[in-house]
Amino acid sequence: MGLSVDERQAFLAEPHVAAISVSAGADRAPLTVPIWYYYTAGGDLWIPTGKGSRKHQLIEAAGRVTLMVDREQPTVRYVSVEGPVTKIVPLEHDQHRQVAARYIPEESLDGYLKYSEGYGEQIAVYVSPEHWLSADLGGPENWG
């Protein structure tokens, strides 16, 4: 069963690890990799990534991405959103902390940020959700 607008936005706003897909060009399947992201219901979502990375280059060239999040418990549910890249900006330290705090325990956050920022400049890629797919397939008690 599909999710309502409010349900899918609320689900996407939860701290799931997403899979992002972006066109990898002619004769290639899309690049699909796990990624952290930040989303507030009703707004744009954004993802951090390394400046100049293959992912960054493909996103810039394609101008569009798909992001998919899912879970298995308490019910099988997913949300997939596709849309245009609206801006790419340098990732500020406070913004990096904001997204990392969704995934890293507080006591490890400073160490993670120091480690991550040691890899070089990061960017934030903003995406405007344009096309949505979503479903809640229930759980075993509904399938039987």
CA-wise closest residue to 92 among 133, 51, 68, 123: 123
**Token couple for 71:** 């879970």
Instruction: Using a pLDDT cut of 70, give the percent of the chain over it.
Output: 99
Q: What's the pLDDT tens digit per position in 62-83?
A: 999 999 999 988 889 999 999 9
pLDDT digits (tens, 9 = 90+) for 29-60: 999 999 999 999 999 999 999 999 999 999 99
Q: Which pair of structure tokens corresponds to residue 83?
A: 């849309």
Rounded to the nearest 5 degrees, what angle is found at the Cα of 137, between the Cα atoms of 135 and 141? 160
**CATH: 3.40.50.300, 3.40.50.150, 3.10.20.30, 2.30.110.10. Which one for 5-139?**
2.30.110.10
* CA pair distance 108, 106, nearest whole angstrom: 5
Domain residue spans in the chain? 5-139
Does the pTM of the predicted model rise above 0.85? yes
